[in-house]
């Protein structure tokens, strides 16, 4: 049965899987809601958006995404509060960033409105899949990939844009033990680090595994040329705080422009902190840690929101930061963001999109 809603063809499932969900053990990214958005691109144009039951998509083993890596993604969340209101946080930022990624990977841009409206229709249809417990949400995964059945390195002429979603529980909460990476590189100058391109993550797995085998939770990535300046923390942006100053590496072509980063910096400014976005050297942070002046360090990203860092290892030296309390900036910012995203706080920057 196909219904049409705001220019979107909707084919609903007759066989919802929602009663099979183990809501007490959602974890992250392993349960998928009933439906998905699919939009095809060919002959230089996006076709009519559709929503169909979530499931396998048949394609040839020769599609160029698999061989030459034209594949990009996004990640954002929908939240439900006790009043059953549903909000999505700053989705137009993700739509704009998808297009930044698409441009860098020689893929077609998708109109921001198509992104937001198809996402809205999907979240409305699968609203029963949004859990509303503490730390819970519906993780939304838009992505685009090249589907030309063709062997040869050139931009594909056909693409698919797909959105699926996953009810998720609280992300990891332990304070992180991280190591400053001085051999491997996540993203090079002039490369694709500012794009959410699938290959970036494949390339980060091996160095991350080495760090994990050595007992660390995550890597603090440094610049590709000198390994002297901070870039990111794992797959999150990294933020430091010393007294009233919040420090974070300024955006560049090797740093992903995180929506959480931008939001946390604004919340910091709103709370009266001084925010510095600039090059931040390893030497500067190590000196602050030696003097006991680094109050907090944390990763910021949609999946975890804020992941406090407990210790930073540089070479053979491990610096342990004090355990973070609810009065420290990271926890204050995390609480603030959580309430805001659930529609329970004033939204002076108009970040929330109400869906239901």
Ligand X SMILES: *Cc1c(COP(=O)(O)O)cnc(C)c1O
Q: Mask of contacts with ligand X, 28-67, x by CB under 6 A?
A: ----------------------------------------
By C-beta, is 72 or 294 nearer to ligand X? 72
Applying CB under 6 A, among 31, 296, 302, 324 the residue interacting with ligand X is 302
Please give the distance of CA 141 from its chain centroid, rounded to a whole number: 9
Query: Does the footprint of ligand X cover residue 222 (CB under 6 A)?
Result: no
> Is 41 or 89 the residue whose CB approaches ligand X more closely?
89
Using CB under 6 A as the binding rule, whether residue 256 contacts ligand X is answered as: yes
Query: By C-beta, is 96 or 328 nearer to ligand X?
Result: 96
Compare residues 208 and 235 and give the one whose CB is closer to ligand X: 235
Report the residue number, 50 or 254, with the smaller CB distance to ligand X: 254
What is the Cα–Cα distance from 309 to 288, expressed in whole angstroms? 15
In the complex, the smallest distance separating the C-beta of residue 303 from ligand X, rounded to whole angstroms, is: 7
Are 314 and 286 within 8 A, CB to CB?
A: yes
Sketch the per residue contact string, 225 through 244, with ligand X: x for CB under 6 A, - otherwise.
-------x--xxx-------
The single residue listed with the structure tokens 């809501």 is 23
126 near 6, Cβ under 8 Å? no
Q: Alpha-carbon distance 123 to 355, whole Å?
A: 8
**How far is the C-alpha of 191 from the C-alpha of 155, rounded, in Å?**
17
Burial of residue 144 (CB within 10 Å: 0-12, 13-18, 19+) is buried
| 162 versus 187: smaller Cβ distance to ligand X | 187
Among 53, 66, 75, 336, indicate the residue that binds ligand X (CB under 6 A).
75
Pairing verdict, β 218-222 and 176-180? parallel
- Angle CA 310–322–213, to nearest 5: 20
How far is the C-alpha of 74 from the C-alpha of 257, rounded, in Å?
12
141-200: contacts with ligand X (CB under 6 A): 196
Q: Check binding of 260 to ligand X (CB under 6 A).
A: yes
Angle, helices 259-270 vs 91-104, to 10°: value is 130
Q: Which of 69, 131, 142, 258 binds ligand X (CB under 6 A)?
A: 258
Using the rule CB under 6 A, which residue among 301, 304, 309, 312 binds ligand X?
301
CA separation for the pair 218, 249 (Å, rounded): 18
Positions that interact with ligand X (CB under 6 A): 75, 196, 232, 235-237, 256, 258-261, 301-302
């Amino acid at each position: 049965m196909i219904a049409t809603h705001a220019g979107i063809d909707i084919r609903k499932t007759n066989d919802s899987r929602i009663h099979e969900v183990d809501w007490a053990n959602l974890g992250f990214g392993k349960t998928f809601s009933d439906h998905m958005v699919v939009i095809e691109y060919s002959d230089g144009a996006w076709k009519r958006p559709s929503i169909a039951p979530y499931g396998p998509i048949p394609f040839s083993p020769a599609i160029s995404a698999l061989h030459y890596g034209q594949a990009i993604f996004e990640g954002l969340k929908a939240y439900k509060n006790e009043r059953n209101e549903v909000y999505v946080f700053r989705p137009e930022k993700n739509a704009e960033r998808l297009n930044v990624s698409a441009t860098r990977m020689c893929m077609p841009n998708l109109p921001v409105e198509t992104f937001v409206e198809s996402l809205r229709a999907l979240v409305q249809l699968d609203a029963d899949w949004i859990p509303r417990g503490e730390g819970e949400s519906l993780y939304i995964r838009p992505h685009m990939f090249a589907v030309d059945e063709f062997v040869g390195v050139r931009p594909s002429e056909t693409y698919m844009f797909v959105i699926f979603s996953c009810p998720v529980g609280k992300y990891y909460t332990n304070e992180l033990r991280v190591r400053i990476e001085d051999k491997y590189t996540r993203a090079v100058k002039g490369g694709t680090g500012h794009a959410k391109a699938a290959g970036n993550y494949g390339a980060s797995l091996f160095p991350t595994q080495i760090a994990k085998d050595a007992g660390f939770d995550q890597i603090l990535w440094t610049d590709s040329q000198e390994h002297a300046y901070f870039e990111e923390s794992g797959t999150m942006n990294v933020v430091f705080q010393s007294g009233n100053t919040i420090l974070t590496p300024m955006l560049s072509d090797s740093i992903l422009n995180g929506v959480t980063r931008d939001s946390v910096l604004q919340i910091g400014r709103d709370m009266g902190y001084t925010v510095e976005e600039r090059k931040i050297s390893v030497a500067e942070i190590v000196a602050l840690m030696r003097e006991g002046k680094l109050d907090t360090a944390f990763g910021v990203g949609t999946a975890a929101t804020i992941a406090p860092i407990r210790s930073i290892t540089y070479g053979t030296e491990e610096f342990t930061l004090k355990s973070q309390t609810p009065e420290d900036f990271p926890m204050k910012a995390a609480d603030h963001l959580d309430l805001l995203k659930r529609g329970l706080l004033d939204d002076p920057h108009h970040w929330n999109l109400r869906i239901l």
